[in-house]
Structure 1
Amino acid sequence: MSAEEEKTMAIHQVMDRMAAVQHKSQAFVDRINRQESLTQNQIMLLFQLRLTGKLNITDISERFVITPGAASSMCDRLEEAALIERVRTKEDRRVVNIILTEQGERRILDLFDRFATAELDKIADTLSKIQILMDEIIE
């Protein structure tokens, strides 16, 4: 096999594995979202808010690679469901942060109720390994 054919095969394998990881990641979010009415992006936004404490519309649009208008619409739906709220900062009333409500916090925890702690630990360990490998590739 020539060097060019080997490289073509390697490229194919990388694309195939990336697609498989993306598919499995989406399947996992679908699994935790099985009985929910939220979209994957809405769930991921709730996760991001739980991890960061707050985000503004610009942060959300950059993290999700969507327009500020689309980020605002996503927040509108979550606000209507009482999962998030918009809070103006005291320093600059023009700045609006998005935070989780208590109901949003409970909703996130409820998503993971069907998993045992040992299973969650295994999932976190596996995702950590993937993250380390991806960090090595990106750097």
Structure 2
Amino acid sequence: MSREAEKEQAIYKVMDHMASVQQKSQAFVELITKRGALSQNQIMLMFQLQLTGSLNITDIAERLVITPGAASFMCDKLEDLEYIERIRTKEDRRVVNIVLTEQGKQHNLSLFDTFEVADLGKISMTLQMIDDLMGGIVQ
């Protein structure tokens, strides 16, 4: 097999696996979110808040690739459900940070209730390997 044909075959394999991972990742997110009334973006925001502690509307909009207005509207819905709260900073009352409430944290954890610890470990390890690999390629 020529070098050119070998590279083309490798490219097709990457494309195939990328499509498969994307479909399965989407299906996994749908699996954990199907029991509730929250959108995938709302769930991903709640995950981000659990991991970071707090974000402002601009941070949320950038991370979810949505407008600040859409981010604010999303937060309104989550605040109505008592999953998040808005906290003004003491230094500048105009700055509002979004934080997860205890109820929001418990909701996040409950999304994974049906999974065994061993399965969660395998999923985490695999996602970490993908993240590490992509982090070395995409800066």
What TM-score does the superposition give when structure 2 sets the normalisation length? 0.90
2: distance between equivalents of 1:112 and 1:30? 12
Is 1:61 equivalent to 2:43 in the alignment? no
Question: Which piece of structure 1 moves more, 4-13 or 87-96?
Answer: 4-13
Q: Which amino acid aligns with 2:64?
A: F
Where 2:26 maps in the other structure, the secondary structure is helix
Which runs of 5 or more residues in structure 2 are unaligned? none
CA distance in 1, matches of 2:117, 2:7: 42
**Percent identity between the aligned chains?**
64
Matched, 1:81 2:81: yes
Amino acid in the other structure paired with 2:25: S
CA RMSD of aligned residues (A): 1.7
Identify the residue that residue 109 of structure 2 maps to in structure 1: 109
Q: CA deviation at 1:127?
A: 0.7
How far 1:133 moved relative to its partner? 1.3
CA distance in 1 between counterparts of 2:75 and 2:9 reads 43
Structure 1 spans left out of the alignment, 5+ residues: none
Whole-angstrom CA distance in 2 between matches of 1:94 and 1:29: 34
Q: Counterparts of 1:84-95 in structure 2 under 5 Å?
A: 84-95=84-95
Which whole-Å CA distance do the structure 2 matches of 1:126 and 1:23 have between them? 16
Provide the secondary structure at the position in 2 that maps to 1:97.
strand
Q: How many residues align?
A: 139
Deviations 1:71-95 (A, max 9, x none): 1111111111111111100000000
Distance in 1 (alpha carbons) for counterparts of 2:33 and 2:77: 16
Deviates more, 1:112-121 or 1:12-21: 12-21
Query: What TM-score, normalized by structure 1, do the two folds share?
Result: 0.90
Shift in Å, 1:13: 3.4
TM-fit CA distance, 1:20: 1.6
Q: Secondary structure at the match of 1:85?
A: strand
Q: How does 1:1-139 map to 2 (within 5 A)?
A: 7-139=7-139
Cα deviation per residue 1:18-52 (whole Å; 9 max; x = unaligned)?
22211111111111112111111111100000000
